[in-house]
Structure 1
Amino acid sequence: MEEHQKLFKLASILLQYPEREWLEDDQLFYEISQLANHTARKRFLQFLDYAKTKEIDELCELYVRTFDLSDRTTMYITYYLFGDQKERGQALLKLKEAFRRAGLELTGDELPDYLPLMLEFAAVAPVNDAKNVLLAHQKAIKGLADRLQEVDHPYFFVLDGCLAGMAAFFEETRGVDIPMRAEEAT
C-alpha cells in the first residue's frame, strides 16, 4: 500500500464515529507510528493520546455534538459550498458517479460527501481519481480544520494531519494528470 493510501485510510478510521475497537487496537497505533509523513504521524498520535484519556461515551458525545449537531462542523463536505440547496443534490450525484467510475460502488446509507468515506475512497481509488476528488474538496476540508482549530478541538489534529498528507500527495502527483475542475468532481 502506498503511503498516501495508508494515510488516508488511517484518517478515515480516526474521523469515523468512535469505536472502542480502534481505540484499543495496537495495530492502528503501529500503522500510524510508521507513517513517513512527520506532520500526519505527529497529529494522528496527538489525537490518539487525547482519545485514550477519555471514556468511549465521552468521545461519542463529543463526536455527535461536533459533527452531527452543528452545521458549522459537519463532516458532509459539500454542505459548506451548497448548504441544503438543490445544487448539493447534483454535487452528491456527481461525487457518487466519480466513485462509480473508479470502480467503487457505495453500498451503505452514507452520503458520498461524508469525509471519512471520501478518504476511504482516496485510499483505494486510482491516483488520478483520488487526486481529483480531494482537490475539488480541499478548500472545504481546510475550512473544517480551521473551524476546529479556532475552538482548540481535538479532532483538529486528525484534520491537520490529513491536510498534510493531502499536500504531500498533491506534490508527489503533480504533473501526473490535469485535475478536473471542482464543479466536475462535486
Structure 2
Amino acid sequence: MKKLILEEWLSLDGYAEDKNGKLDFFPETKANRYSDLDQLNFLESIDTILLGRKTYELFVDFWPTATNDVEIIADRLNSIPKIVFSNTLKKAPWGKWPDAQVLSGDAMEEVKKLKEKDGKDMVLWGSISLAQSLMQANLIDEYHIQICPVAAGGGKALFPGADHYKNLKLVDVRQYDTGVVFLHYKV
C-alpha cells in the first residue's frame, strides 16, 4: 500500500499563503542547494505527484521548462507521473513531458484507490484546500513541513481550527543554510 506524503512550505507562524494569497516568503532556490539534494533523494521514493488545480497552474508555468543545470530536481520532477485534481480542467499539459492526468469528482475516493495500488509513495505538494480535505479524511500518512524564517502575519493556515488533536511522531529534522527547517512527521 502506498503512503501519501504531504509536503508544505510554511511561514514560521504557520501559513501556507500570505494575506494576499502569495508564496513570496519561500527562500531563493539559488541559495537552497542542500535542501535541493535532499529533495532529489526524496523524489526517488515517489512514483506519483498529486496537485490541486491552483498548484498545477503555478508549477506548469515553471517546472516543465526548468533544466537540471538551474534546478537539480527538474528532470526527476518532470518525469514523475502527475495527477491534477480539478473539476474545471479537462487537460493538464506539462510542456514536452507527458501530460498530467486530470481527475474530477470525489478526490477522497480517488486518493483511497491510489493508496491501494502497489508502487512507490505519492507526494501532494502545496494544494492547501485539497491537503486540508485529505487531512480531514485521515488520508495523509506523513508530513514534510518546510518552515521558512518569515512571519507572514496572516494568510491561509495549514491547520485551521482543527476540532481535535492530531498526534504526530517526529521522524527527522534538518536545518538548511537558507534558514529553512525541514520537519518530517508520521501520523
Q: TM-score, normalised by structure 2?
A: 0.28
- Determine which structure has the larger helix proportion and give its number: 1
Q: TM-score, normalised by structure 1?
A: 0.28
- Determine which structure has the larger strand proportion and give its number: 2
